[in-house]
Amino acid sequence: MEFPLTVRDFLDRAATVYPERVAVVDEPDQPAASLGTLTYRDVDRLARSQAAALDEMGVPAGARVAVLSQNSARLLVSFFGVSGWGRVLVPVNFRLARPEVDYVLGQSGAEVVFVDPELAHLVAPGPRVRTVVFGDTDDLLWSRAAEPRPWRGDESAPATINYTSGTTSKPKGVVLTHRNLWLNATTFGWHIGLDDNDVYLHTLPMFHANGWGMPYAASAVGVKQVVLRKVDGAETLRRIDSHGVTLLCGAPAVLSAVLDAAQDWDGVVPGHGRVRAVVAGAPPPTRTIERIRDELGWEFIQIYGLTETSPLLTVNRMRTEWRDKPRKQQARLLSRQGVPSLGVRLTTDASGEVLAQANQCMAGYWDMDEQTAAVQDGGWFHTGDGGVLEDGYLTIVDRKKDVIISGGENVSSIEVEDVLSSHPRVREVAVIGIPDQRWGELVTALVVADGAVDEAELLRHCREQLAGYKCPKRIEFRDHLERTPTGKLQKFKLRAPYWEGHGSQVN
Ligand code: AMP
């Protein structure tokens, strides 16, 4: 017998097995008013109510429904209320600038947009059924007595579209099916030993690859989920302390912020000997791994993947075989990206690019057939990362794609170059990443100017069109930029002086 695997399964199990359990502790001061503490019965009721409201708006299965929000209980519920009844959830990066949000809403053809009150100014009017500001019409949205129209379930249907900056000048919409998300969530949960004693803190933005699938995985096993609206090292420690958190996920920069805050913490660091920190998004420095283990007393687990792979491809977790090795060596072993997770096949091609085959690999990019065909060439998913496989372990050593990773978020060099080039005083520009201790890599622009223009003016120009984290942190003016005889920028030469002495080409 076969039944479709859909994200509703995760909610249905929670509502059946753990109806009375605390499911979600919302951020206490959400601008839309906190939803407080919800049980899994509440989450199920709210999701059904949201689905029924979409029925009433006449939004059919397959239609895109965007949510633009910082981490919140309302966004968490929408993972089920939208996708669980056949619509496609588009969780939008809340740090984007207005023109970028406009692009995502337009390209995805979102029929309904839910938005946090603090972000409402980013949503321009558009050809859609409705824009709902969280908090404003809550009565309408979350308290429908009516049951939603049944959806028969289709595991190959798109469940979410997540926009990611990559090798094109505009972000691409990664279409993930119910099957993709189901298998990612279950294998992820299994590899990190998720169970119903866990308490999860949402340090990871939920929009980013659907919080790596944790909203689904954690719900299925009745985990208490603590919502954190804004990442802050000290606040993270306080929440771990007061809610008995056992598990969190984040980019290395998030863990660095926690390590900084821990220096000022009086007494034993919260979660000592209890918390598992799952780290990905950029390569964690070995020193950070050592400090997480020694100063915080937390278990360090690394994963590697992409939005396009739902994201889980590899996992690296302390093994019994390493128990007797010195701790420094253990940290070095853990600094590799890891071994394939269950059901993943990995290889590298002649150029060193990492290729993957897995049921977590996306259906394709939304409405971009050419780009989809390119990354799925030969029946393998092309990650754009350069890596080596040794003893089954993958180590990422460089990046084939022109992407900078700053604080765990991808920045497309081309996108930033496009914006800078549109300034009348910019003749030539190259955007590169340079290593930085805190952020991993810093977006840096090398500019050949046509007449007088200063850094402040160029930054102002960028800020109007780009999310803050994409704007250059450093702008250097040059007389000329080195190019090949065919006119291509020689980025590896431009990068070289900044990366001297670094073992690899990613940080
Ligand atoms: P995103 O789609 O925004 O999640 O970004 C995916 C990219 O982040 C990958 O292609 C890698 O370049 C990078 N990445 C993710 N996890 C790791 C990791 N553990 N180590 C090194 N780079 C990583």
For 71-102, how does the pLDDT look when each residue is reduced to its tens digit (9 = 90+)?
A: 999 999 999 999 999 999 999 999 999 999 99
Ligand 1: does its nearest atom lie under 6 Å from the Cβ of 306?
A: yes
Atom number of ligand 1 nearest to Cα 338: 19
CATH number at residue 111: 3.40.50.12780
Residues 353 and 488 in one domain: no
Residues 319 and 240 in one domain: yes
Number of domains composing the chain: 3
Residues 468 and 323 in one domain: no
What's the CA-to-centroid distance between 352 and ligand 1, angstroms?
16
Residues 448 and 373 in one domain: no
What is the rounded distance in angstroms from the CA atom of residue 284 to the CA atom of residue 337? 9
What's the CA-to-centroid distance between 405 and ligand 1, angstroms?
8
Residues 291 and 408 in one domain: no
Residues 314 and 350 in one domain: no
Is there a domain that residue 3 lies in? no
What is the rounded distance in angstroms from the CA atom of residue 180 to the CA atom of residue 312? 10
Which residue's CA lies nearest to atom 20 of ligand 1? 283
For 54-67, how does the pLDDT look when each residue is reduced to its tens digit (9 = 90+)?
A: 999 999 999 999 99
Is there a domain that residue 507 lies in? no
For 344-381, how does the pLDDT look when each residue is reduced to its tens digit (9 = 90+)?
A: 999 999 999 999 999 999 999 999 999 999 999 999 99
**Of 312, 339, 366, which residue sits at a domain end?**
339
CATH number at residue 461: 3.30.300.30
Q: What is the pLDDT of residue 139?
A: 61
For 261-305, how does the pLDDT look when each residue is reduced to its tens digit (9 = 90+)?
A: 999 999 999 999 999 999 999 889 899 999 999 999 999 999 999
Question: What proportion of the chain, given as a percentage, has pLDDT over 90?
Answer: 86
The DSSP annotation for 422-482 comes to TSTTEEEEEEEEEEETTTEEEEEEEEEESSS--HHHHHHHHHHHS-GGGS-SEEEE-S---
- Whether the Cβ atoms of residue 346 and residue 313 lie closer than 8 Å to each other: yes
The residue to mutate among 249, 396, 398, having the most atoms of ligand 1 within 8 angstroms of its beta carbon, is 396
Higher pLDDT: 398 or 242? It is 242
The residue to mutate among 192, 214, 300, 385, having the most atoms of ligand 1 within 8 angstroms of its beta carbon, is 385
Ligand 1: does its nearest atom lie under 6 Å from the Cβ of 283?
A: yes
Sign of CA dihedral 217, 219, 223, 224: positive
Is there a domain that residue 477 lies in? yes
506 pLDDT tier (thresholds 50, 70, 90) = confident
For 429-478, how does the pLDDT look when each residue is reduced to its tens digit (9 = 90+)?
A: 999 999 998 899 999 999 999 888 999 999 999 999 999 999 999 999 99
Is there a domain that residue 77 lies in? yes
Residues 364 and 435 in one domain: no
277-314: b (≥16 Cβ within 10 Å) or e = bbbbbbbbbeebbbbbbeebbbbbbbbbbbbbbbbbbb
The DSSP annotation for 16-64 comes to HH-TTSEEEE--TT-TT----EEEHHHHHHHHHHHHHHHHHTT--TT-E
386 pLDDT tier (thresholds 50, 70, 90) = very high
What's the CA-to-centroid distance between 408 and ligand 1, angstroms?
8
Q: What is the pLDDT of residue 488?
A: 72
What's the CA-to-centroid distance between 450 and ligand 1, angstroms?
36
Residues 305 and 167 in one domain: yes
Tell me the backbone φ, ψ of residue 404, rounded to 5 degrees.
-110, 135
Residues 302 and 372 in one domain: no
Q: What is the pLDDT of residue 249?
A: 98
Residues 317 and 292 in one domain: yes
Ligand 1: does its nearest atom lie under 6 Å from the Cβ of 353?
A: no
Coil, strand or helix at 258: helix
Angle, alpha carbons 403-406-408 (nearest 5°): 95
Ligand 1: does its nearest atom lie under 6 Å from the Cβ of 204?
A: no
pTM value is 0.93
Within 10 angstroms of residue 422's Cβ, the number of other Cβ atoms is 11
pLDDT at 123 over 70: yes
Ligand 1: does its nearest atom lie under 6 Å from the Cβ of 304?
A: yes
Q: What is the pLDDT of residue 342?
A: 98
Which residue's CA lies nearest to atom 9 of ligand 1? 306
Q: What is the pLDDT of residue 140?
A: 66
Contacts of 132 (CB under 8 A, 6+ apart): 112, 113, 114, 115, 141
The residue to mutate among 212, 304, 506, having the most atoms of ligand 1 within 8 angstroms of its beta carbon, is 304
Work out the average pLDDT over 146-151. Answer: 94
**Of 324, 339, 354, which residue sits at a domain end?**
339
Ligand 1: does its nearest atom lie under 6 Å from the Cβ of 410?
A: yes
What is the rounded distance in angstroms from the CA atom of residue 416 to the CA atom of residue 419? 5
Ligand 1: does its nearest atom lie under 6 Å from the Cβ of 302?
A: yes
Atom number of ligand 1 nearest to Cα 302: 19
Q: What is the pLDDT of residue 289?
A: 97
Residues 350 and 456 in one domain: no
Question: What proportion of the chain, given as a percentage, has pLDDT over 70?
Answer: 99
CATH number at residue 381: 2.30.38.10
Query: For residue 359, what are the domain limits?
Result: 344-399
Is there a domain that residue 505 lies in? no
**Of 288, 319, 339, which residue sits at a domain end?**
339
Q: What is the mean pLDDT of the chain?
A: 94
Is there a domain that residue 113 lies in? yes
Is there a domain that residue 23 lies in? yes
Work out the average pLDDT over 192-200. Answer: 98
Is there a domain that residue 246 lies in? yes
Residues 313 and 421 in one domain: no
Which residue's CA lies nearest to atom 23 of ligand 1? 282
Which residue's CA lies nearest to atom 3 of ligand 1? 410
pLDDT at 167 over 90: no
